[in-house]
Structure 1
Amino acid sequence: MTTQPDGTYEMIITADSIQSNEPDTDSYTDPSFFANMGSAYTPEDVKFKPADGEPIKRNRNKGERRISCQTLPRLTCQVFEDKLLELPYDKRESFPICRYGLDKPLITGIFPDEERFRSGCKNSIEYVRYWRGTDVQMYLYCWNIFSTLFFVQECLKRFGKPNDAFILRYRRKTSQEASNADASVEEEKGYASPDDEKPPVYNNKYSQTLLDSKNIIFRGAPGTGKTYLARQIAADIVSDGKRGDWSKLDDEQRRRIGFVQFHPSYDYTDFVEGIRPDTEETDATGTHGFSIQDGIFKRFLDKARDNVEQSRLSKEERREPSVRERLDAYFDSLDFDDNQFRISTGKPFQVTNVTEHHVLVYAPHGIKQELRIRVQDLLALMQSSTPPTNGEDVHHILERKRRQREDSYAFALLQEIQKHKPSSASRASEKVLRKPFVFIIDEINRGEISKIFGELFFSIDPGYRGPAGNVTTQYGHELYVPDNVYIIGTMNDIDRSVDTFDFAMRRRFRFIEVKAEDGLDMLEELGGLSEEAESRLTKLNETISSPDIGLGSDYHVGPAYFLNLSKSESTAKAFDDLWRDFLQPLLHDYVRGMYNETEIMEKLKAAYEDASDSPQPAERSV
């Protein structure tokens, strides 16, 4: 190892050793030797030298210092980001980071946010924050340039190849640098980035809760605005804190929000995948055929997973079109009125149309002249590691028991598609950021959870996101929930359409109660009726919870019911109509069967009517 110029030293870190050309530190395997003396040194340059490629340096965020005590662990996170994020949460939070001596405790943990770091590792500012995009964040202990050598070596041991190495060039601090070391702590920790490059600041207080927890359920009485709140949070997150209103999102942001409402007959076929009627496949009698089709959640996961995969591509890889893009580009260039192909036997055929699921083929030689080739079969053939060499290979690759007539036509089309070279100029070369996707399940407790989710019970667990939670579906397809997917459920506590919420699923969600008073702001859209509406609602709910009624807060009336007030009627009539048509039927269902049912209803009505003459409620603090 050669001596560096300008009084600097070079350290080479591999999975098995640490070597430095500084005198008396030529070769050590214990990182704690250096960790104890790290405060006296400052870094000059850091790079990763893979065994079979060009050196890699830190891709800095704007405003991030070119070199600091944080650069080595940040570069390590950058190099091994995918592998680290694939680890389940419990494995991440026990990941080795630092030790200040063989007899000292091991500091462990890679955490998703500062709060988790402070509670799970150390309640201090001694950490490095690595982040990219909107939802990739890692916090781990770091104080000086040598304090994360243990972490670097552990990553090399677990994820690296033989002869992979990190190279750190460093020098001793001057006396002035040593005396001013504490002055730059905030800058060292990465807080100097410009506002537009910092992680987003969200408007809704529950947005960060969802990002930290992955899965949350809003529970509470009917009409408290749980679904409205879920949509606000989704809009807040997919817009990086710039929009809190669903209606103001652009098309790209809306595509990253999924929505479904569960009900008692909803099942796995609707949600994940199943055999369903194929409206494009009919026989001579007009009877529909059947095929395996993706459910709404699986289609949503495919979009999120595609975003993750695109974000991992290098600039060179982004110039290469994906399999789907190659297929789409080919059929976009095809003239459906004037094309002709031949199968291996020489028989001609023509492609007449392409739908979402099928390529429609006209084959004049044969009893059945109109054929349908499944698009997903073509994609599977294009992605196969052993491409077919003839029509006979097709059904083996697609794992079908017997050959079909369509196989010869699929093989002929495959050969034509492979000849077609779409222009790479049409493919954006900009780096794709990993983006958050939010899926809302309204009335989640009204469905039979175990029947709907099936084996995805495992994959939606926050600790098993990404490939670590890969499962095989009931139809033999591999599936996992990407780390950039967040799930919001809503449920009414008093709904009895399903008796219990599955306990296996319950522990995978964070439950947050939404009370009637939490949504009072929605009454502002009532204009002049808002104050009286709030007064009547407050008095009515106080009476519902009173000892002589005893229903409790689960039976409170939510403010959403008051949005049914008619603005075209007089104030008195509007409130009378609301009671008669909306509130009275609801409350009567609550108390039906009680021995003093009539008396309770009279008390509730009196509270609702008396509130119109009572003092207005005090102004709420924001």
Structure 2
Amino acid sequence: MYKQLQIEVFEWLKSKYDQDNSFTFSVRQKASKGAELNYFIGTEKSKYFATTFWFVPVSYPGSSGDLLSLVFDLRKKSGIEFFFQLNQTRDPQDSQNSYALELIKNIKDKIGDRFEHVYAGSENNKMEFFGVYSTPKYSSFQDLLPDLEVMISEIIPIVDEEIKSLKNIHPDFVAHRFTSNEQENMLQKMHDRFKRYKIVEDLENELEEDEEFDGTAEPEDFRPPLNQILYGPPGTGKTYTTISKAVRIANPDFNINQPRKGVKEEYQRLVKAGQIMFTTFHQSMSYEDFVEGIKPETKEGRVIYDVKDGLFKLISDKAKDNWISNQFKKGKLSFEASFERLKDEWEEDNSMKFSMKRDGNEFTIMGFSSKSISFKKASGGTGHTLSINTLRELFYGEREITSKGVGIYYPPILDKLQMYSNKGQEVEFFKNFVLIIDEINRGNVSQIFGELITLIEPDKRLGEDERIELNLPYSKDEKFGVPPNLYIIGTMNTADKSVEALDSALRRRFVFEEILPDYDLKELDYTLYDFQVSDILKTINSRIEKLLDRDHSIGHAYFIGKDATTIIDSFYRNIIPLLQEYFFCDYGKIGLILGSGFVQKLEKESVFADFDYSDSSQYDQKEIFEIINHKDDPAGFKFALQTLMKK
């Protein structure tokens, strides 16, 4: 359905352009992997795509879309939805972005009262957001077309007029409807792309026939496993690769094929946004650190013990909240966002009262913990708490309100949260979340994961037919399950501990990808001391494999970006220490790898005291080696390298 809807939207827009060349629109220009034959920005995995009618260049950290967009959304089970959205940072760093912010504020003021389903972002948000929405009820493009025609016939003239007015005030503002020449150029690029990639797709036999496509099939590269482990020798870029994989999963629309700096900036943005979390396993890591446990904290001079969520549960709950709230109508805040509003308001006025059904029975919140809300009754009684998880389940309709005990205190707070939610903010699209576990095999994985070993299985995730929810040992009153939008990426250093040493139950639940030294990297295509760097690495590793195995190879990272000086540092700070660890200081074997230019045998007379001991001669005959120091001797290092390469 995704591909068919794109075709129908394109043909509709193209027909309007053919009738009137002033009606212009954008089409996808770049052939992002997996979207080579798409008409518009967006991917089949994201289940939405977008076009725009104006050229308004904006740029700010995290920006990836247009200022003004018409979006078609297929994520609702109830049907197709379309909406017109305006989105811009409230912290512009230059005049162009400032003008763009002014523009969408002006448009918002003009459009605000014209449509039934309109949502505006909170003034507290970092983004200025405004959207006009249809309802997710349409079963086909023909079904939604009449309402779509009405929306754009009203919105486009308003935007055109506001751009014209703002350019009169700010002549340097870059903004205009696409010209017919620009339209023809975009269409030509799109057709050239289709022609080029259609041939490739046909040759590889990867494209299904349109009549057999049901809207659910996706290219294999765009269906990453929920649980995967990258394993390989040190220095092969496992952690480096996890960053790229995590960004690609968390933001499928991001162009991963760009300089590393841009990828790292996007990674940091996603970490800050809470979509990616990074941790490293170690011997002291426990279930209580990873899932949940009872931890002490000091409040008002008293030490109290409370159940605290661990790293996994924190990101899992965030992913679950996004997954559940995405089932809701656009423009409504999620529970987490609404709950943060409540806490912010309470921080400003902690005397705020919540009214019960009976007049005069008001209670106040005394504080928040990670699991509960403590409150004071109208009678003055304290020591009472409400479960945050129960409040979350009530918010999403997963539990019914009870009229017994403290159950009667939930509705007033729930009403407050619903009030925040109904005000709406920027559209909260469905998001993927990623937990990176570096050095996963260095911890006691069975003890750390506990019951998660079962819950992380793809078919046991929430939303699946075989889903499992269970009570965790510390927070016994709440059910816990792992959502389908949480991905786990682990790394393993095979020189540290073999793959076989990982718990077999956990291994069955992960997909393993081996990361080996890559001798064909373009970063290794250079020479040092008259030798191709990739050849030096390959020579060293071929000898290590003979003496040990390929799990103990030397990674390509130790040779990337080196010069005549830094390659010497890499040998003496990284490569030689690794070999000493691998061979337990058996310098004879290290000499077989590096040669006599790096390792020499010491010829010494007997060092022992005079003493009558029958076995003393065997110790005198023991060979002693040492590493030759070329740290400050480039000429000596060059000779050693020639010896290593047998030249």
Please give the TM-score of this superposition, normalised by the length of structure 1: 0.53
Query: Residue 454 of structure 2 corresponds to which residue in structure 1?
Result: 458
CA deviation string 1:182-216 (max 9, x = no partner): xxx989617999xxx99999xxxxxx557243332
Q: 1:288 aligns with which of 304, 322, 332?
A: 304
Query: Once the two structures are superposed, what CA deviation does each residue of 1:306-336 show, in whole Å capped at 9, x if it has no partner?
Result: 33323333xxx44665555554444555551
Q: Cα–Cα, structure 1 residues 509 and 519, in superposed 2: closer, same or farther, change >3 Å?
A: farther
Aligned partner of 2:482 in structure 1 is: 481
Work out the CA distance in 2 between the residues paired with 1:426 and 1:446.
Answer: 47
For 2:269 and 2:544, how far apart are their aligned partners in 1?
Answer: 51
Q: Could you say if the C-alpha distance between residues 469 and 601 of structure 1 is closer, same or farther in structure 2, counting changes exceeding 3 Å?
A: same
Aligned residue number for residue 189 of structure 1: 210
Alpha-carbon distance in structure 1 between the residues aligned to 2:460 and 2:399: 28
**What is the rounded CA distance, in whole Å, between the counterparts of 2:454 and 2:269 in structure 1?**
31
Q: 2:403 aligns with which of 389, 392, 411?
A: 389
Equivalent residue in structure 1 for 2:577, among 581, 585, 595: 585
The residue number in structure 2 matching 1:559 is 556
Matched AA of 2:247: A
> 2:304 corresponds to which letter in structure 1?
H
Per-residue CA distance 1:361-385 (angstroms, 9 max, x = gap): 678987x979876644654676674
Counterpart residue number, 1:469: 467
Equivalent of residue 316 in structure 2, options 285, 298, 301:
301
Task: Specify which of 237, 248, 251 is matched with residue 236 of structure 1.
Answer: 248
**Where does structure 1 lack aligned partners over 5 or more consecutive residues?**
1-56, 68-113, 115-130, 138-165, 168-184, 202-207, 398-410, 617-622
* Contact 2:296/2:303 (<8 A) preserved: no
Output aligned runs, 1:393-472, within 5 Å: 393-394=405-406, 412=409, 414-415=411-412, 418=415, 422=419, 426-428=423-425, 433-466=429-462, 467=464, 468-472=466-470
Q: Secondary structure at the match of 1:517?
A: coil
**Structure 1: how far apart are the matches of 2:265 and 2:345?**
36
Residue identity opposite 2:403 in structure 1: T
Residues 542 and 243 of structure 1, relative CA distance in 2, 3 Å threshold: same
The answer to whether structure 1 residue 211 and structure 2 residue 223 are counterparts is yes
Distance in 2 (CA, whole Å) between partners of 1:369 and 1:304 is 34
For the pair 1:62 / 2:6, whether they are aligned, the reply is: yes
2:282 to 263, 273, 276: 263
Taking the aligned partners of 1:435 and 1:351, their CA distance within structure 2 comes to 32
1:134 equivalent in alignment to 2:45: yes
Alignment-derived partner of residue 100 in structure 2: none
RMSD: 5.1
- The CA distance in 2 between the partners of 1:348 and 1:599, in whole Å, is 81
What is aligned with 1:507? 508
* TM-score normalised over the length of structure 2: 0.51
CA separation of 1:455 and 1:463: change in aligned 2, threshold 3 A = same
Q: After superposition, where does 1:22-171 map in structure 2 within 5 Å?
A: 61-64=5-8, 134=45
Q: In structure 2, what is the equivalent of residue 495 of structure 1?
A: 496
What is the CA–CA distance in structure 2 between the aligned matches of 1:509 and 1:371, rounded to whole Å? 43
1:247 aligns with one of 255, 265, 273: 265
CA distance in 2, matches of 1:542, 1:584: 15
1:596 aligns with 2:612: no
Q: Structure 1 residues 333 and 533 mapped into 2: Cα distance closer, same or farther (>3 Å)?
A: farther
- Is the Cα contact below 8 Å between 2:544 and 2:593 reproduced in 1? no
Which amino acid is 2:470 matched to? T
CA distance in 2, matches of 1:192, 1:434: 23
Alignment CA distance shift 1:270-1:522 (3 Å): farther
Counterpart of 2:582, as a letter, is Y
Match in the other structure for 2:349: 336
64 and 478 in structure 1: CA distance in 2 versus 1, 3 angstrom threshold: farther
Matched residues in 1 for 2:530 and 2:491: separation? Answer: 25
Cα offset for 1:515? Answer: 1.5
**1:485-521 CA-partner distances (Å, limit 9, x unpaired):** 3322211112149981112222222222212226845
Work out the CA distance in 1 between the residues paired with 2:233 and 2:317.
Answer: 34
Question: Could you tell me whether the CA contact under 8 Å between 1:359 and 1:372 is conserved in 2?
Answer: yes
- Is the Cα contact below 8 Å between 1:133 and 1:433 reproduced in 2? no
Q: What's the CA shift string for 1:139-173, capped at 9, x where partnerless?
A: xxxxxxxxxxxxxxxxxxxxxxxxxxx99xxxxxx
Pair 1:543 & 2:532 matched = no
Unpaired stretches in structure 2, ≥5 consecutive residues = 12-33, 35-41, 49-138, 141-201, 257-262, 600-636
Q: Deviations over 1:70-91 (max 9, x none)?
A: xxxxxxxxxxxxxxxxxxxxxx
SS at match of 2:288: helix
Structure 2 contact 529–638 (Cα < 8 Å) conserved: no
Letter in 2 for 1:251: R
Could you say which structure has the greater relative contact order, defined with CA pairs below 8 angstroms and 6 or more residues apart? Answer: 1
**Structure 1 range deviating more: 349-358 or 442-451:** 349-358
Distance change >3 Å, CA 609–CA 216, structure 1 → 2: farther
Contact preservation (8 Å) 1:539, 1:611: no
Shift of 1:585: 1.9
Give the number of equivalent residue pairs: 409
For 1:544 and 1:59, how far apart are their aligned partners in 2?
A: 48
Q: Is the 8 A contact 1:311 1:434 kept in 2?
A: yes
The structure-2 alpha-carbon separation of the partners of 1:378 and 1:306, relative to structure 1 and needing over 3 Å to count, comes to closer
8 Å Cα contact 1:226/1:490 also seen in 2: yes
Secondary structure (helix, strand or coil) at the match of 2:502 reads coil
Conserved 8 A contact 2:580-2:587: no
Amino acid corresponding to residue 462 of structure 1 in structure 2: P
Amino acid at match of 2:440: I
Per-residue CA distance 1:384-411 (angstroms, 9 max, x = gap): 7442436xx12xx6xxxxxxxxxxxxx5
Letter of the structure 2 residue corresponding to residue 134 of structure 1: K
Q: 1:610 to 1:484 in 2, by over 3 A?
A: farther
CA shift at 1:260, angstroms? Answer: 1.6
Equivalent pair of 2:455/2:481 in contact (CA under 8 Å): yes
